[in-house]
Amino acid sequence: MLDNIKRPPSTYLSFSMGLLWLWSGTQPLFFMPEMSLDLLRSVGIPDPLQWPTLISASLLDIGFAFLCFSRFRFRSAIWLLQLITVAAYSLIIAFRLPEMWAHPFAPLVKNLPIMATLFFLYQSVGDKK
């Protein structure tokens, strides 16, 4: 039955990226705010800016999720912006939380295939000249 459903890989990848962004936007804000605030403190965000930063980052991630689920997923700019965001997050973590390099769940290393997927999606859409 599933053999009759032919979808390009970009469809599955865009929806899986949407789920990832949705989780990364909601989980820290709604389920782990104290841990998230501690991490922001560790990267050097001053106390008065921690909540605004957490809320802004969560809204950005949730916004990316909705873009991944929408018709805008056919625009190369959204994939490039996501790639730049993941790279920026990764650089901040790499330099401000270097202990994450040794973390047993490898959060920084996992960003490499995420960035590769985002680059693939960026290349796969047809709005570039």
**129 part of a folded domain:** no
Residue 111 lies in a domain: yes
Does some domain include residue 91? yes
pLDDT digits (tens, 9 = 90+) for 113-122: 999 999 999 9
Quote the number of domains for the chain: 1
In a domain, 3, yes or no: no
Residue 115 lies in a domain: yes
Classify residue 62: in a domain, yes or no.
yes
Q: Quick check: is 21 in a domain?
A: yes
22-67 confidence digits (pLDDT tens): 999 999 999 999 999 999 999 999 999 999 999 999 999 999 999 9
Task: Compute CA distances 2 → 5, 13, 14, 59, 103, whole Å.
Answer: 5, 18, 19, 35, 39
User: What domain range includes position 99?
Assistant: 9-124
Q: Tell me whether residue 2 is in a domain.
A: no
